[in-house]
Amino acid sequence: MDPPAADPAVTHIPYKTQNAAWLNLFAPLVVVSLVLSVIALVVAVNVDQTTVVQSGPVAATGATSLTAELGEWEFVFDSPAIAADTDVAVTFSNVGNVEHNFAVLRSGADPADEERIDDGMIVADLGDAQPGETLSGTLTLGAGNYLVVCLIPGHFNSGMKAELQVAA
Ligand SMILES: [Cu+2]
């Protein structure tokens, strides 16, 4: 007589049933774990980006002094951001070959043409510097993104403008 255990079909069926039950129990848990992992990863990346913004080279407080070199046709700042709502000492040197000017347009103003710059758009004008001359002044601005411009005719349209962030 053949023993019942020798029949492969009889021993195989309970195993498959057990296996399927195991999958039914754990498959949803695996899916939930994967979803939670993705969420955790997204949150971690966002937190990391926030941290970078806060501790990066553009400090949240901004610099309390600014040095600028003016030339044809550019402004070169020693810092991309200055502090908001406080007196910021500005020292600017004309390293170019013609007279230049240091003025600031109101936050957000970005005229396409210097003909569109009117007095109401200018929030600060620190004066005109001759070649080789260094002048100083003070900027006290609210937080925002500003354009520093040269008001000597033709210079703005030659590209003499630069972004300056004022950070709270
Ligand atoms: Cu200029």
pLDDT, tens digit only, all 168 positions of the chain = 555 555 555 545 555 555 556 456 556 555 556 555 644 544 454 444 444 444 444 445 799 999 999 999 999 999 999 999 999 999 999 999 999 999 999 999 999 999 999 999 999 999 999 999 999 999 999 999 999 999 999 999 999 999 999 998
Give residue 148 CA to ligand 1 midpoint distance, Å: 11
CATH 3.40.1280.10 fits 65-167, yes or no: no
Give residue 162 CA to ligand 1 midpoint distance, Å: 12
Q: Are 64 and 82 in contact (CB under 8 A)?
A: yes
Pairing of strands 100-105, 74-77: unpaired
Domain coordinates of the chain in residue numbers? 4-55, 65-167
- Measuring CA to CA, which residue among 67, 56, 64, 126 is closest to residue 95? 67
Query: Rounded to whole angstroms, how far apart are CA atoms 68 and 134?
Result: 10
Which residues lie across from 63 on neighbouring strands? 82
